[in-house]
Amino acid sequence: MNENHWYPREPMTFLTDTLWCDAATEVAHNRLTDTYYALGRPINDCEDEVCNIGKIKPADYMRVRGNLERLGWRFEGGVLHHRRIEETLESMDKIRSKRSEAGRAGAEARWQTHSKRNATALANTMANTLASGKQNDASNSNSNSTEIHGGVELPSGFPATVAEATVAAMFVGCTDEFAAVTWTKAMSRGGMDAKGQPIRSWRHYLATEWGYDQNRREERKRVETRSKSGAGRNEGTFNARVQADYKSKVR
C-alpha cells in the first residue's frame, strides 16, 4: 500500500470533470482514483478487477470504460494510467522526502547540542579538578583540604558550581533537577551534609540521597494505597491489638 494515506482532492475539479457523467461512470471514476492513490501504482487492466473496484455492472462495462477514457484514464500495457494522479503522487513523494529530511536534520541537531553540552560540562569538571589538584600540590595540602569559593571554604571533592554537580547525575542515574536541588541544599551548609560532616565524595553522597528519596517516594505510595483502600489502617497499632483481644474474648 502507498505510504501516503491522503491526497489533495479538489471538490470543484471532481465536480466539473464528472458533470456530464452518469452515476455509474462517476462512481467508477471516484473509486478507481481512490484505489490508485491507496496502492500508489496503476490498477491492473482486468475487466473483473475494474468492475469490482469501480462497482460497474458487467453489462455497462464497455460504455463506462469509454467514459473513463474521456476522464483521462488510459488502458495501456495491461494497466490503467492517469496522468494527473501520477503527477500528484510524484509531488507527494517529494514533499514527504523533504519533510523526512528536515525531521532527521532537526533530530541530529538536537542530539548534537545535547552531546556537546554534556561534553562541555564534563570537560569543565575535569579541568577544574586538575586545576584544584595542582593548587593542592602547590600548597602541600592533603586529601582533607578545602577550596575557597565565594568566600566559603568547600571540602575537597565537593563541586563548586551547580553545572559540575549535575554532571554526576548521569553516573548516579538521577535527574539533573534532583542533583541541582541536592547541591543547593548542601552548598547552603558550606558543603556539609545534614549531620555537619564535610562532603568529600559528591558522587557517593548524591547516590545516597537519591536512594533515600526513591525509598521515601515508595513508602508514600504504599501509605496512600492503604489509606484509599482502608485495609491495614490500624495494622501494628494499639487499636489493632485491642480489637484482636476483644474478638478473642467474644469467642
The C-alpha atoms of residue 8 and residue 14 are separated, in whole angstroms, by: 11
56 versus 163: the higher-pLDDT residue is: 56
Sheet of strand 73-76, all strands in order from the earlier edge strand to the far edge? 43-44, 79-82, 73-76
- On the question of pLDDT at 243 being above 90, the answer is no
Note the pLDDT tens digit of each residue in 183-217: 999 988 888 998 889 998 988 999 999 999 999 99
Are 121 and 201 in the same domain?
Answer: yes
Contact 147, 132 (CB under 8 A): yes
- How many residues appear in the chain? 251
100 versus 158: the higher-pLDDT residue is: 158
Q: pLDDT-based confidence at 121, cuts 50/70/90?
A: low
Kindly calculate the radius of gyration of the chain based on its CA atoms and give it in whole angstroms.
Answer: 37
- On the question of pLDDT at 53 being above 90, the answer is yes
Residue 227 is predicted with a pLDDT of 78
Q: Which of 51, 72, 88 is the last residue of a domain?
A: 88
- On the question of pLDDT at 246 being above 90, the answer is no
Whether 50 maps to a domain, the answer reads yes
The C-alpha atoms of residue 208 and residue 193 are separated, in whole angstroms, by: 11
Beta bridge partners, 192, equal: 198
Residue 143 is predicted with a pLDDT of 43
Whether 102 maps to a domain, the answer reads no
- On the question of pLDDT at 65 being above 90, the answer is yes
Question: Other C-beta atoms within 10 Å of 76: how many?
Answer: 10
Are 122 and 81 in the same domain?
Answer: no
The stretch 20-32 carries a mean pLDDT of 94
- On the question of pLDDT at 100 being above 80, the answer is no
Whether 241 maps to a domain, the answer reads no
Are 16 and 59 in the same domain?
Answer: yes
Whether 242 maps to a domain, the answer reads no
Which structural domain, as residue segments, surrounds residue 74? Answer: 11-88
- On the question of pLDDT at 220 being above 80, the answer is yes
Whether 193 maps to a domain, the answer reads yes
- On the question of pLDDT at 123 being above 80, the answer is no
Q: How many domains would you assign to the chain?
A: 2
Are 19 and 58 in the same domain?
Answer: yes
Q: pLDDT-based confidence at 43, cuts 50/70/90?
A: very high
Whether 250 maps to a domain, the answer reads no
pTM of the model: 0.40
